A and B are shown apart, each in its own frame.
Chain A
């Protein structure tokens, strides 16, 4: 779908299956970024000249695009540098202030480093207790397993909507309702879901949602944190400086600006925010249901074809997203990715920042293929063909 929109696909003879890491950029996004630098470079908030007024309008408009895209209040949309920063703001700006020693936070071992390490650090700082919800036999995460881990001390459930390795879509509507009914905060990492499926912030009872622009056809360097407004009112900024205060005086009194501006100290990534706005319009135009359904078709096509190759081990057959992890039997994942690079096929090898998942799947490193709407059946045929010839892998990579 829409391949002509992507200069990188047209200019390079590559097959790009590393969309879980980052996505390619359509021309409209590149043009929007270029247009800012070419025609209306200026800072936001403080300029009275035409370019600045134009920039301000374009920049603020993106909050409304986000709000419309995921159904949330535009005033609770905070621009960050990416999902990692967003998640750290939740943990150190909100949780650090409102959790206390002994409070329990439910995580799971398939989470990305960004949704585990900040919590481990908070554990060191204030003595929260981290509990890992067991995964099912197919490594998916269910509400039933979450319920089994809940105690009267459970204060937070924090999880990725879609795991970046297993690719299972977690039932956030049910989990959100359960969390809400039990007075538990629900923190969602949407980095792998917002670009691929429809998500409804309000109706899923989400308290905080984090995601990155660059995984959804937008520029790098910008991301979003959305929080319930009443929670954001009780959250501390991580950064203090220009643009986020009303005044500060010699007697150390100061006043912060309103939400969300108080969380955006310094000059933000203006071009990138504007580019993200274009990306959202672009994805909306294609339709999130169309994107998800097409990715599932690609997935099923790959799984059907790969059945014919007997030395490929697939670890997440049951997942329902465009993420597939596998290994060629007896071959180190990185050797496989280098081998596929020989055929101009871009995949990712490693633990995919989920370093605890090895405890569950008993293997440390895998090859990850992650599809997006611009991938094709023909590209999958080429991957299958390369995998079929992989008995000669060391003649190629050595």
Chain B
């Protein structure tokens, strides 16, 4: 993917993010994700039925990278099984941390494959995934 296309995808998802805005529904898992190193602060909610991600929504204030990553993540995750999502989460984190990863499962999330060149933006790119991870962990514990 060339840089121009990456920028376009990120920008589109920042300007018109998928599922931005929370709803009142107690059947969703909920969490807040904020960064200690920057000022991004997003709330997430996620609905899982029979092991399938049915919906994820988010709201809050964050930079272009965090907001777009939330949007692309939501597009990628909805309809997938929890197992598939966990695999994506693991590979995405490895990509951001410059470790070995399987790019074939990441789809559009590959737009962040060179975010490591801007170390202070790694956390921004990880923020939405951390929220989903947290909700899945809480679900597993209960």
Contact = CB atoms under 8 A, between A and B. Distances in A.
Contacts of B100: none
B64 to A, nearest CB: 5
Given A338-B63, A365-B61, A397-B64, A333 B11 contact: no
Contacts of B121: 338
A338 B64 CA distance: 11
A160 interface: no
- Looking at A332, A334, A394, A397, which has the most chain B CB atoms within 10 Å of its CB? A334
A117 B41 CA distance: 20
How many A residues are at the interface, by size bracket?
Answer: 10 to 19
Given A364-B61, A397-B64, A333 B10 contact: no
B62 interface: yes
Interface in A331-379: 332-335, 338, 349-351, 364-365
Nearest to A397: B64
A277 B119 CA distance: 37
Contacts of A338: 63, 120-121
Contacts of B39: 333-334, 349-351, 365
A394 B61 contact: no
A200 to B, nearest CB: 36
Contacts of B10: 398
A334 B38 CA distance: 8
B63 A394 contact: no
Given A351-B39, A365-B39, A332 B64 contact: yes
How many B residues are at the interface, by size bracket?
Answer: 10 to 19
A332 B38 CA distance: 12
Contacts of B67: 332
B38 A395 contact: no
B61 A332 contact: yes
Contacts of B64: 332, 335, 394, 397-398
Contacts of A332: 61-64, 67
B103 interface: no
Contacts of B41: 364
Given A332-B62, A332-B63, A334-B63, A398 B11 contact: yes
A328 B7 CA distance: 20
- Looking at A333, A350, A394, A395, which has the most chain B CB atoms within 10 Å of its CB? A394
A154 B41 CA distance: 36
Contact of B40 (A334, A394, A395): A334
A394 B7 contact: yes
Contacts of A398: 6-7, 10-11, 64-65
Nearest to B60: A364
B38 A394 contact: no
A335 B38 CA distance: 11
Given A350-B39, A365-B39, A395 B7 contact: yes
A383 to B, nearest CB: 20
- Looking at B61, B120, B121, which has the most chain A CB atoms within 10 Å of its CB? B61
Contacts of A350: 38-39
27 contacts: A332-B61, A332-B64, A332-B67, A333-B39, A334-B38, A334-B40, A335-B63, A335-B64, A338-B63, A338-B120, A338-B121, A350-B38, A350-B39, A351-B39, A364-B41, A364-B61, A365-B39, A394-B7, A394-B11, A394-B14, A397-B64, A398-B6, A398-B7, A398-B10, A398-B11, A398-B64, A398-B65
The 9 closest A-B CB pairs, nearest first, are: A350-B39, A334-B63, A398-B7, A332-B63, A335-B63, A398-B10, A335-B64, A394-B11, A365-B39
Interface of B: 6-7, 10-11, 14, 38-41, 61-65, 67, 120-121
Given A333-B39, A364-B41, A394-B7, 5 more contacts: A332-B64, A334-B40, A335-B63, A350-B39, A398-B10
Interface of A: 332-335, 338, 349-351, 364-365, 394-395, 397-398
